[in-house]
Amino acid sequence: MNINTLHPKEIIPIIKEYMTYGQWKKLKPLIHQLESTFEQEENTHLQFQSHHVLAKYYEAIHQYDQSASHYRKALTMEGKIDTNELSTEWIDAYLRYATLETNYKQFQKARTFLGKLLDWLDRNRQDDKLAYGLAYRNIGNVFFADDDYKGAIIQWERAKTYFEAVYPITHPLITETIQKISTAYINQENYDQARELYEHLLYQYEKRNDRINMARTLIKIGEIYYYTDLKKARSSIKQALTEFEQIEKGGQADRIKALFMLGEIDEHTANYPRSLNYYKKVLKQTNESDGNWEAFAVYAYAKIGMLHIQLNELDEAKKYLEQGLPLSKIFSKIRMQFLYGLGKIYSFEKRFDDAQSMYFQFLQLLESHNQKKSKSYADTLQAIAFNELQQERLAEALRYYKEAYNVYETLVSTTCREEKGLTCMRIAYCYEKLDDQPFQRAEPFYEKGIQLLKKGCSAAVTEEAFFAIIDFYHRTNQPKKKKKYEDEFVKRKKTE
């Protein structure tokens, strides 16, 4: 095929076909040929169709300026072409251009062109319910993207009314619009109305005995109940799972999602044994099924391992975390859980080199996600420091404790008061053991630590802090300061 001899009328359908099948490498010479020839074309319909297909191409390869330019040029041709003859492409150009501008937060441009589309429909296609529905759906998308949830709901309700004039309520266009409206209600914290939309849809599926969509809708209802009533959320999702298990053609992904949600609800309500049972069912299903379920398996391994740590079942935790760790390489955020969990377990087992290896890998991942100034980063530095302290490497422990303290200092104090206070006490301890005159560098950190730990911390931690500073002033022969904290401690105990 000699591309250079092709006419725009021949090029346009080829470009459409290649775009449909994602054959992007073959598209470039065709795009170049179309761009170099179509403007000389006298047929204005072909000029419009060329702008339209070029706009779609540049939209697909994320070149906003060129795509927007072609859409605008296409849409200024109303007086030069028969828009009724080209109505499908004409409407599509408006909708796509509005979506493009919405995605790039050019909301006013999107609204303006959608208003023009409605005006054109009023003049030319008053009976085209589908086109009106698509226009109002896009207007709703603009309101939603601009954080105007009330406005979005109004427009999407209009779209839904138009769609219902064309399709049954279970049609994908309508169910997708219901999902949009429900999401907007959730963002307004109007959970009852969000749920009622799905309850009405559930009734329609029940009338049709559409069990797979009944179950999927029960999942949606459960997701909404998750915000307000975990018991009802669990009941709805459990009902969905029962349906999925009874349907031969029920999707594996549907069952796994239901199991995960049940596990998360039980985890949230601290029913860890039952939560573990659900996560282990997920793992069993992913291991026994064909297909690529690696992401689900990795997440399940992480959940199971961390819950066993929560239950202080460290051997079981280690087994699952070590099995899942090699699978987690391409899932960096989930991998962090494996590294931190194994770091804690190896520390408990006094396998300090292995523990430090896990912790340092964890820090590297945090850095790669721009989380160097985070509580997780500081907590991990503190864990590394404690392992050094366990091995009596005081200078190394001090270095990591000070790094942790510096990170805590950059955070909002109320989010890490206890951790920062404990770090101060441990810095003080290291200085005391390393210095000939401990009160010079250790004392200020003991004082900082006690001031932080006196407020808003657990009684056990506060009590331990008082004992530490009282003992310090006893060891350094400072009776007045020792008595001050003894009296304060007694007074606090009397008021508890």
Q: Measured between alpha carbons, how far is 471 from 442 in angstroms, rounded to an integer?
A: 13
Residue whose C-alpha is closest to residue 334's, from 374, 305, 372: 305
> Which residues are CB-contacts of 383 (< 8 A; sequence separation ≥ 6)?
343, 344, 347, 355, 359
Boundary-marking domain end, from 77, 96, 126: 126
Residue 3 lies in a domain: yes
Residue 341 lies in a domain: yes
Residue 347 lies in a domain: yes
The model's confidence at residue 287, banded by pLDDT at 50, 70 and 90, is confident
Count of domains forming the chain: 2
Residue 62 lies in a domain: yes
Residue whose C-alpha is closest to residue 422's, from 384, 465, 380: 465
Q: Measured between alpha carbons, how far is 227 from 189 in angstroms, rounded to an integer?
A: 9
> Which residues are CB-contacts of 388 (< 8 A; sequence separation ≥ 6)?
394, 396, 397, 400
Boundary-marking domain end, from 339, 371, 403: 371
User: How much is the mean pLDDT over the chain?
Assistant: 94
The model's confidence at residue 444, banded by pLDDT at 50, 70 and 90, is very high
Residue whose C-alpha is closest to residue 197's, from 212, 185, 209: 185
Residue 351 lies in a domain: yes
pLDDT digits over 189-237, tens only?
999 999 999 999 999 999 999 999 999 999 999 999 999 999 999 999 9
DSSP 386-446: HHHHHTT-HHHHHHHHHHHHHHHHTS-GGGSHHHHHHHHHHHHHHHHHH-SSHHHHHHHHH
- Tell me the average pLDDT across 429-434: 92
Residue 44 lies in a domain: yes
- Tell me which residue range forms the domain holding 43: 1-126
CATH code for the domain of 321 = 1.25.40.10
Residue 161 lies in a domain: no
Q: Measured between alpha carbons, how far is 246 from 238 in angstroms, rounded to an integer?
A: 13
Boundary-marking domain end, from 126, 153, 179: 126
Report H helices in 38-148: 44-60, 64-75, 87-103, 107-124, 129-145
Q: Is the pLDDT of residue 290 over 80?
A: no
Residue 317 lies in a domain: yes
Residues constituting the chain: 496
Q: To which residue do tokens 């995605």 refer?
A: 103
355: part of which helix (H) or strand (E)?
A: helix 352-368
- Tell me the average pLDDT across 424-449: 89
